Chain A
Amino acid sequence: MPSRTKTVLIWIVTFFIMLIICMPGLWIILSAFRTNGEILTKPAIWIPQNLTLDNFRAIFGFGENVVGIPVASYFRNSLVISITSTALALLIGMTGGYAFARYSFPGKKPAFLWLMLSRTVPGIALSLPIFIIWSRLGIIDTKFGVILVFTAINVPFTVWLTEGFFRQVPNDLNEAAQIDGCTRWQAFWKIEFPLAKSGIASAGIFAFLTSWNEYALASQLTRSTDSKTLPVGLMDFTAQFTIDWAGMCAMAVIIIIPALILTFLVQKHLIAGLTFGGVKG
């Protein structure tokens, strides 16, 4: 095949694939700015006649046709739960990851393996006993209860990622710092932490996204406006008599946006973390 044709072919295929990846998201975003009436019209209207912000106003409770779904509260819950559980997971995961990277101790390998395996338990399977126990403890349907669970499901992966990043920082540096007069603690904060910082940040972003996106557990552990997260709230729409597609799309956009922003931020470090952590055993 002449190389010209080949190049063109590659571009066509690439374009097609990118279309499949981007199209669904773009279509949702577009729909979020259209009226429900226009979406429901048959035959389909392809070129939007009027774009509005009404859907967003509606789900946040402004404007004339208010949706009976407290999206603002859900958004707040999601933020509080995701940020807190991320901070906790990062703290716990980082200390654990550091120990696995820097120390050898009896039971290290199995401990690591079991930590990872704990992540394989399907959310729905875990939700049943947690639902019962949390009810007994009185923390069902509270932010605290969800934060606890999200922290736990984020810890294994955070340990894995940070372990990889700390392992890339040569142990020599920490020793050199100790000889230069640092305590172990100072050596960590002045040398090892700054060098692993970007990796730790991406582990944090990953944990945030997991919490932000989680549904299987959150849908069982939250019931009220005070604790429901956005993904759970999205399903509120389906419970209504007629599906408010435009409203749902608007809410979907609210959920997507933080994820998209964070994607830009992490992409480089995340790949590095995943591959170095995994391949260079």
Chain B
Amino acid sequence: MATVTLKDVVKRYGAVEVVHGINLDIAHNEFVVLVGPSGCGKSTTLRMIAGLEEISDGDILIGDQVVNQLPPRKRNISMVFQNYALYPHMTVSENLGFSLKIASRSKEEIEAAVQDAADILGLDELLERTPAELSGGQRQRVAMGRAIVRHPDVFLFDEPLSNLDAKLRTQMRVEIKKLHAKVKTTIVYVTHDQVEAMTLADRIVIMKDGHIVQIGTPLEVFERPVDTFVAGFIGSPPMNLIDGTIKNDTVVFSDGRSVPVPPDFSGKVVDGRRVVFGFRADVLMPKGHTLAESGVLHDLDLTIDLAEPLGSESILLSSFGGKDIQARMHNPRPVKGGEVLSCELHLEKCHLFDAETGQSLRG
């Protein structure tokens, strides 16, 4: 059973603390994605799990063994690096078989394992080439092959797709997902791309400044962000966030307009409280261009500044409550700048956050 457990893990470089006591339980065969802005400590966390970075405090367990002092080779993990880290002086098959060779397995065994990995990843024709003779996507695949040959307990990925172009990235994303379905191993995956996180993860871990902000399934973090940071980070386009004040069960904005307090939050806020009102573009739609949904609706008139047609929908840019906001128009028709559209807001999908701390007021 390859669970991974982090208990109050701290990382310091000299006097600077970059990871501040994080706790995380990863289940057997779970696909966990660490996501967060650049410099938030994702790689550091991953490298501590790998044993490439010493931990300054706390415990890391793989299975039920504390691995704090174990060197990487004793942890039975594999890792795919951002730049692939293929050995340039070895052929693809030598790269794939290297770990088994170090473990002094028999030649036949190595060959069989290499063949296996090559089959899974479609590397058959490339086995005799050197890394220099491969394309980016092929290198990526070899790096993954090298990781699976050993049947490790845990796979670690550090931004494995960030060096690929957009199209290849989508394609490899699917392959990684398929790979996980095939080899069924615990995976810890680092990325700063929230789309990757949403599509791949069983659970997402959102980090900021060396802290874990939220852990949850993709849907959970999307629908119930714990604070404005997660709300702004997950989802595209980012959530609209507008400052306002509570008055008689409505949120009043700086331009005088207002919306009712969303049903989930009624009774949780008192008059005069300063809040941030949040909603995604998807829940604000012009009438006649909505998805057939029912619920608590609130009508708004919006002056559209600009429409960005995307084909099956358009993103409408407007301003509301003193902020630039985005709304979504399904089955779009051409919209001119300056046109006033009557829209409806799905109130039960809106959020309130504390103005000072940014924490969700859901309670």
Interface residues of A (CB under 8 A from B): 170, 172-173, 175-184, 186, 190-191, 194-195
Contact = CB atoms under 8 A, between A and B. Distances in A.
B71 A178 contact: yes
Contacts of A184: 71
Contact of A181 (B81, B89, B102): B102
A190 B79 CA distance: 19
Contacts of B81: 172, 175-176
B79 A179 contact: yes
A110 to B, nearest CB: 17
Contact of B146 (A180, A182, A183, A195): A180
A195 B88 contact: yes
Nearest to A106: B14
B1 interface: no
A176 B79 contact: yes
A175 B52 contact: yes
A166 to B, nearest CB: 14
A176 B85 contact: yes
A179 B83 contact: no
Contacts of A179: 50-52, 72-73, 77-79
A183 B89 contact: no
A252 to B, nearest CB: 41
Interface in B51-82: 51-52, 71-73, 77-79, 81-82
Interface residues of B, number: 23
A181 B103 contact: yes
B98 interface: yes
- By Cβ-Cβ distance, the 8 closest A-B pairs, closest first, are A172-B85, A180-B99, A176-B85, A181-B102, A181-B73, A178-B72, A179-B72, A172-B81
B83 A170 contact: yes
A14 to B, nearest CB: 35
Nearest to B78: A179
A195 B130 CA distance: 14
B128 to A, nearest CB: 19
A186 B85 contact: no
Given A178-B71, A179-B51, A181-B99, 17 more contacts: A170-B83, A172-B81, A172-B83, A175-B72, A176-B79, A176-B85, A178-B51, A178-B73, A179-B52, A179-B79, A180-B102, A181-B73, A181-B103, A182-B102, A183-B73, A191-B87, A195-B89
30 contacts: A172-B84, A172-B85, A173-B85, A173-B87, A175-B50, A175-B52, A175-B72, A175-B79, A176-B79, A176-B85, A177-B87, A178-B71, A178-B72, A178-B73, A179-B50, A179-B72, A180-B73, A180-B102, A180-B146, A181-B99, A181-B102, A181-B103, A182-B73, A182-B102, A183-B73, A184-B71, A190-B102, A191-B87, A194-B89, A195-B88
Nearest to B76: A181
Contacts of A172: 81-85
Among A172, A180, A182, A184, which residue has the most Cβ atoms of chain B within 10 A?
A: A180
A171 to B, nearest CB: 9
Nearest to A171: B85
Residue of A181, A182, A195 contacting most chain B CB atoms (<10 Å): A181
A104 to B, nearest CB: 9
A179 B85 CA distance: 11
Contacts of B77: 179
Contacts of B50: 175, 179
A177 B71 CA distance: 12
Nearest to B13: A104
Interface string B135-147: 0000000000010
Interface string B93-108: 0000011001100000
Nearest to B53: A175
A177 B95 CA distance: 10
B109 to A, nearest CB: 14
Interface in B26-54: 50-52
Contact of B52 (A170, A178, A182, A195): A178
Contacts of A173: 85, 87-88
B76 to A, nearest CB: 9
Contacts of A181: 73, 99, 102-103, 150
A178 B82 CA distance: 16
A200 to B, nearest CB: 14
B74 to A, nearest CB: 9
A118 B87 CA distance: 36
A188 to B, nearest CB: 13
Contacts of A170: 83, 85
A180 B71 CA distance: 11
Nearest to B81: A172
A178 B81 CA distance: 13
A269 to B, nearest CB: 15
B89 A180 contact: no
A174 to B, nearest CB: 9
B83 A180 contact: no
Contacts of A191: 87
B85 to A, nearest CB: 4
Contacts of B82: 172
A23 to B, nearest CB: 43
Contacts of A190: 102
A222 to B, nearest CB: 42
A149 B325 CA distance: 74
